[in-house]
Amino acid sequence: MQLVSTQIENYQKNSSWIRRMFEAGIELKKKYGEEAVCDFSLGNPDLTPPKAIIDGIKQMAIDADKPAGLGYMPNAGYDDVRQALAEYLTKEQGIAIGKQHLILTVGAAGGLNAFFRAVLTPGEEVLCPAPYFVEYGFYVGNYGGVLKPVKSIEPDFHLDLKGFEAAITEKTRAVIINSPNNPSGVIYSKDELKALAAILQKATEKYGRPIFLISDEPYRFLAFDGAVVPPVLPLYTYSVVIGSFSKNLALAGERVGYVAINPTMENVQSLISGVIMTNRILGFVNAPCIGQRLMKAALGTNADATEYVKRRKLMADVLTDAGLKFTMPAGTFYFFPQAPNGMDDVKFVSMLADEKILVVPGSGFGYPGYFRIALCGDTKFIERSREGFKAAVKKALAK
């Protein structure tokens, strides 16, 4: 008797390496103690929320003590919150966005699922640069779509524009990018985004229907050394920005995000209406009311990210000391080094686990031969990992 669908069985078999390593970390910590394990597996932001969030929580307690204080709302979110977010995104994206051009969602993941449900027909394809966040494949697959990764250009993981052009077919419905990128930390330049937009415009005209450019932007706030994250909406008519406040406001557990659709797009309100409908029928109904209010209270502020600057510098020193090859991440709180000696990434990750260091193999991001480090732990764990990295590399080179 088949109790679960084939798709769910496939998900279980190919479940996220991120979660697998996180769960392995729980077991190691039980065995050796919390302080002995250097866990760099999960991108769980550990910063303190900005003061505006704490003030917002106090105000929510007051507002909740009213009839329907925590009651239903329009499926797209509170009107005043959408208006505030529209004004914020207008400045960020450099294009006039009205509240009618966006909806609030249950995190960026909820927004991506609602959007894909609205636009995908079974068998259609979504392209993305590799390495990529592994859940993209499941989000696309939920609605019968197929994710087609396009390998990025090493060593800095910028877009392979010729590869994208060659990968587009009559089945292509969308391209999804993530900048700054998880796991590589690359920030795509304005020039390469303009070139990608030109490719999509040409293909849209060729096939007679829009190919959407989706920019997934939860790490936009975390760019280093003065790097700028170019806005996507002004570059291409059929563009969509999907984001969340999990990282920049340290609100990961509250699950509040958004979908903003280019206001210059033909029939934009029809698409917005479709996404509002799918947001409802997928069971999200609306983004959490508390998260919406907290987001509005804190718009324009960020959690203090100076700790990530220190961690980035220290991790670069640790990896260099171990003799590992890597490109310095321009954004995010991740590193994506190469496994030494051409070694299989899963095997090297296992060697690191023997040294009580938990990272995620690049295979989990569609990019074997590398591994991801999440800087979501205190600097003491980064420093403590130094000798373990060196020992694992020594073993790898001896193979």
Q: What is the pLDDT of residues 204-215, one digit of tens each?
A: 999 999 999 999
Res 28 pLDDT > 70: yes
Structure tokens of 57?
Answer: 């929580």
Strand 38-39 relative to strand 357-358: parallel, antiparallel, unpaired? parallel
pLDDT for the residue 88: 96
Res 1 pLDDT > 70: no
Predicted TM-score of the model (pTM): 0.92
Res 181 pLDDT > 60: yes
Q: How confident is the model at residue 3 (pLDDT cuts 50, 70, 90)?
A: low
96 vs 21: which has the higher pLDDT:
96
Query: Any idea which of 62-66, 189-193, 218-222, 233-237 has the lowest mean pLDDT?
Result: 62-66
Any residues with CB less than 8 A from the CB of 280 and at least 6 apart, and which?
75, 286
Q: How far apart are CA 275 and CA 280, in angstroms?
A: 9
Q: How confident is the model at residue 8 (pLDDT cuts 50, 70, 90)?
A: low
DSSP class of residue 99?
A: G
6-49+304-398 CATH pick, 3.40.50.410, 3.90.1150.10, 3.40.630.30, 1.20.1250.20: 3.90.1150.10
| Cis previous bond, 183, omega within 30 | yes
Cα-to-chain-centroid distance, residue 190:
19
| Mean pLDDT of all residues belonging to the chain | 91
Res 4 pLDDT > 70: no
pLDDT for the residue 124: 98
Res 2 pLDDT > 60: no
DSSP class of residue 183?
A: T
Q: What percent of the chain lies above the pLDDT cut of 70?
A: 96
pLDDT for the residue 49: 85
Q: How far apart are CA 13 and CA 260, in angstroms?
A: 34
Averaged pLDDT, 20-49: 78
Which part of the chain has CATH 3.40.640.10? 51-298
138 vs 53: which has the higher pLDDT:
138
Residue whose pair of structure tokens reads 């985004």 in the numeric block: 193
Res 63 pLDDT > 80: no
Q: How confident is the model at residue 71 (pLDDT cuts 50, 70, 90)?
A: confident
Residue 244's SS3 state is strand
Q: How confident is the model at residue 72 (pLDDT cuts 50, 70, 90)?
A: confident
The correct answer on CATH 1.10.3720.10 for the domain covering 51-298 is: no
pLDDT digits (tens, 9 = 90+) for 352-366: 999 999 999 999 999
Res 256 pLDDT > 90: yes
Averaged pLDDT, 323-328: 97
Which part of the chain has CATH 3.90.1150.10? 6-49+304-398
Averaged pLDDT, 276-301: 92
Res 11 pLDDT > 70: no
pLDDT for the residue 24: 75
Averaged pLDDT, 18-45: 78
Res 65 pLDDT > 90: no
Averaged pLDDT, 67-75: 82
Q: What percent of the chain lies above the pLDDT cut of 90?
A: 73
Burial class of residue 235, CB neighbours in 10 A (0-12, 13-18, 19+): buried
